[in-house]
Structure 1
Amino acid sequence: MRLLHVVLLGFGLLALTSCSRTQEQQLRSQAADDRPLANQPDLHEPSGVHSSGHVHAEHDHTDGHPQNAHEAGGHQGPTDADHHGSPLVATSSHERHGESHGRSEPQHRDHAGHNGHQHSGEQHAGEESKHIAIGDKVPDFEVTINGKSLKLSDLQDNGSLTEDGTLVLTFWCSFCHSCRHVEHRLDELAKQYKGKVGVIALDASAGETTDGVAKFVKKNKLTMPIALDADGTAADIFGVRVTTTTVVIDGNGVLRYCGQFGDDQHAFATDALKAVLAGEDVRLEKTGHKG
């Protein structure tokens, strides 16, 4: 019996020792889990690199700068200057396309027609047109004839040039192919109405000089007056985009016709002039600007 008690006491001590060791191991394991790892970042704090990069990305999308070339420049479609005439050349009143290329000869504007000649009256894209309309009184502007500065009003008051102030102005230049098809007919019109109507070739192209024009006129045996519009004011006033465009101004200084000089089948400017001189309405007051 005493032996049985000893055995039971031994088993009890053994069980108590095993339980204590199990609890100690659990406590040690729990303590190890509670310690922060030395090489492990705190997952609750944002990484400096990632958070900074994200912020920059937001700025990149919201700072207003275009993200690609299409947004920066856009695709430019065809311009409205593709006429059958010779687009007018830029002068000091607008940015000169040729200056960026360092050329010395008469330059062409950004918008090119068949012959690439464009007057200073050509307005930049987006600019509001401010030219006058048929029936409006033509404002005064200055030109140069034979090296002398004259105003439109001076020409209208010149009795040896025009009887009542009626004028025909055709936009022209010495290096435009379209003008070669018109200038001799214009010269004949000037001879026909000499002393009665002022028929004038109006040169609003960059690069032209009085001496250069004089040499061209002499070589080609032209007799009509050539007026230089150095700053392109006239082209702006009439909204002219191409050479050979012609305007007829009556004795009251009113614009009566603006458009083509004429072609093989039509004499638009001459017909308009005849109607003005007869005191009649111009049947066709405006035609497309075509060289």
Structure 2
Amino acid sequence: MRSTLIIILACGILSLNSCSEPQEETAVTESANDVVQPSDAQQSPQTTQSDHGDLEESDAVPEKSGDHATHGHASHDGTGRGHSEHGDAADDKSTAANTKKVAIGERVPDFEVTIDGKTWKLSELQKNKALTEDGTLVLTFWCSFCHSCRHVEDRLDTLAKQYKQKVGVIALDASAGETTEGVAEFAAKKGLTVPIALDANGTSADIFGTRVTTTTVIIDKNGMLQYRGQFADRQHPFAEDALRAVLAGKDVAQQETRQKG
């Protein structure tokens, strides 16, 4: 009887053990599945973040230095300005800096002007007997759009007629933008016959050290500067007085007066 009970108990234990093993496998499988699922969930956000990062990089492409340089040069070239103009301005400043202002009693250096479309050197004008008898010149800075020139040009024109073929009296236009045709038309309207010389580069203004229109200079027969300053004021005909002294071979009483435009 006792042995029978032992056998029954043993069978029961074996039966319980055999039932519990599949359950453990199932539990392990389920546990393994539980571990894999969180892992998949973690991988998914990483992939999404990586994709989002790639989109952000493509939306904000960093500008390459080469592209920037090309763009910069294109903008300059496209305008047709920039470097070329900057270079010209630098050249003008360099030329002005290298041009020494002539002093009273010094020889006036040669420069070029255009009269009625023809280019002349200062030295050529001094030798032109149809203009000046002995090389004496009176140059008054003038332009067609200057208000103060309107107060001087008639007297300058009268002086040119008075000393025709004896002294070269010239209106010297050193203003940029003036043309032979433009000043000829203006002179015709005003009835001016005084020769008008164009110096678009402004070299003469640098040589004589002036930036004021109506400034007048007188050069004697030897090419020396004898007077620089106002053409005249209400009381004093400075240029005419200086010219008479030069032609008479005398010293000019007032060799320089305050330039006033």
- Ranges in structure 2 where 5+ consecutive residues have no aligned partner: 1-85
Whether 1:137 and 2:111 are equivalent positions in the alignment is: no
How much has 1:237 moved relative to structure 2?
A: 0.4
**Where do residues 271-286 of structure 1 align in structure 2 (5 Å cutoff)?**
271-286=241-256
Aligned mate of 1:219, from 189, 205, 211: 189
Whether 1:228 and 2:164 are equivalent positions in the alignment is: no
| Contact residue 199 and residue 225 of structure 1 kept, 8 A | yes
**Rg (Cα) greater in structure:** 2
Q: Which residue is 2:119 aligned to?
A: 149
Q: TM-score, normalised by structure 1?
A: 0.57
Counterpart-to-counterpart distance in 2, 1:252 and 1:209: 31
Whether 1:290 and 2:255 are equivalent positions in the alignment is: no
How much has 1:236 moved relative to structure 2?
A: 0.5
Counterpart-to-counterpart distance in 2, 1:163 and 1:249: 13
Provide the alpha-carbon RMSD of the alignment.
2.3
Look up the SS of the partner of 1:258 in the other structure: strand
Counterpart-to-counterpart distance in 2, 1:95 and 1:197: 36
| Contact residue 93 and residue 231 of structure 1 kept, 8 A | no
Q: What do residues 61-109 of structure 1 show as CA deviations (whole Å, max 9, x unaligned)?
A: xxxxxxxxxxxxxxxxxxxxxxxxxxxxxxx99749xxxxxxxxxxxxx
Which of the pair is proportionally richer in helix?
2
Q: Which residue is 2:133 aligned to?
A: 163
How much has 1:129 moved relative to structure 2?
A: 7.5
Aligned mate of 1:269, from 239, 244, 249: 239
| Contact residue 99 and residue 207 of structure 2 kept, 8 A | no
| Contact residue 93 and residue 232 of structure 1 kept, 8 A | no
Q: Which residue is 1:12 aligned to?
A: none
Q: What do residues 158-215 of structure 1 show as CA deviations (whole Å, max 9, x unaligned)?
A: 0011110000000000000000000000000000000100000000001100000010
Whether 1:257 and 2:227 are equivalent positions in the alignment is: yes
Q: TM-score, normalised by structure 2?
A: 0.63
**Matching residue's letter, 1:139:** P
**Where do residues 1-291 of structure 1 align in structure 2 (5 Å cutoff)?**
95=89, 130-291=100-261
| Contact residue 231 and residue 238 of structure 2 kept, 8 A | yes
How much has 1:264 moved relative to structure 2?
A: 1.3
Look up the SS of the partner of 1:139 in the other structure: coil
Q: What do residues 211-257 of structure 1 show as CA deviations (whole Å, max 9, x unaligned)?
A: 00010000000000000001111000000110000000000000000
Aligned-residue sequence identity (percent) comes to: 70
Counterpart-to-counterpart distance in 2, 1:93 and 1:284: 41
**Matching residue's letter, 1:196:** K
Is the alpha carbon distance of 1:155 and 1:93 closer, same or farther for their aligned partners in structure 2, counting shifts above 3 Å?
farther
Greater relative CO, 1 or 2 (CA 8 Å, sep 6+): 1
